[in-house]
Amino acid sequence: FFLIYLTSALFLRFGEVKEGDVVRHDGKTSDGYLEHIFKHAAKELFGMDVKEITYKALKNKDFQEVTLEKDGETLLRFAAAYGFRNIQNMVLKMKKGKFSYHFVEVLACPGGCLNGKGQAQAEDGKPDKALLNRMAEVYTAIPVRLPETNAQVQKMYQDWLEGVDSKKAQETLHTKYSAVNQTSNNLDIKW
């Protein structure tokens, strides 16, 4: 699991791993941080404390949407796009200006990280459903710790990034996006 690997890497950098130190983020599976970011944004931007979120499947189970609404107005719209087909559809919609999300979580593996090609498969090369279910059970049994309360993350901010709001933290962890001029050559990928 990437998250466990990343957590272990932090421990190696900032201390030893002890039993019970492995934690997970808030979310329904080992996928990305969509759920945590959604809840954090709702609290920070709109003062709303969201306990549980509901995913709405759109075209398929690997393309889902989460919205925060108040008084009939949509305040936040997040999407989870898993698998290359959904990523390709997302890029096409973005090009057409028909993709109105505030945040999109993109994972290459259909079904999310637990279904990735690095995971155990049956002899026929297909995912082992029983093993996937067991891995999901084991993952959800790991205690949840919010990233902002993780002592190792706080130590990393202080020791390596020189503080949460430091110039080094801003330069290292933040970016700005701007439109890129389209070029046409044979190496362009056509989505």
- Residue labelled with tokens 């189970």: 61
Rounded distance, CA 30 to CA 141, Å? 11
Q: Encode pLDDT of 150-190 as tens digits.
A: 777 788 888 988 988 899 988 888 777 666 666 655 555 55
- SS3 of 68, please? strand
Instruction: Please report the DSSP string for 3-31 in residue order.
Output: HHHHHHHHHHHHS---TT---B-SSSSSS
pLDDT for position 146: 76
The pLDDT, as a whole number, for residue 11 is: 47
Report pLDDT for 95.
86
Ranges of the chain whose pLDDT falls below 50: 1-13
- Domain 24-142 in CATH 3.40.1130? The answer is no
**Phi, psi at 123, each rounded to 5°:** -60, -25
What is the reported pLDDT for 12?
A: 47
- If you ran DSSP here, which 8-state letter would residue 142 be given? S
Which helix (DSSP H) or strand (DSSP E) does residue 139 occupy?
helix 129-141
Per DSSP, 149 falls in state G
What does DSSP say about strands 103-107 and 56-60: parallel, antiparallel, or unpaired? Answer: unpaired
Residue 180 CB coordination number (10 Å): 6
**Buried (b) or exposed (e) across 6-44, using 16+ Cβ within 10 A?**
ebeebeeebeeeeeebbbbbbbebbbbebbbbbbbbbee
The residues spanned by each domain of the chain are: 24-142, 148-173
Asked whether 68 and 50 are in contact (CB, 8 A), the reply is yes
For residue 135, count other CB atoms closer than 10 A to its CB: 19
pLDDT at 70: 94
Residue 130's pLDDT is what?
82
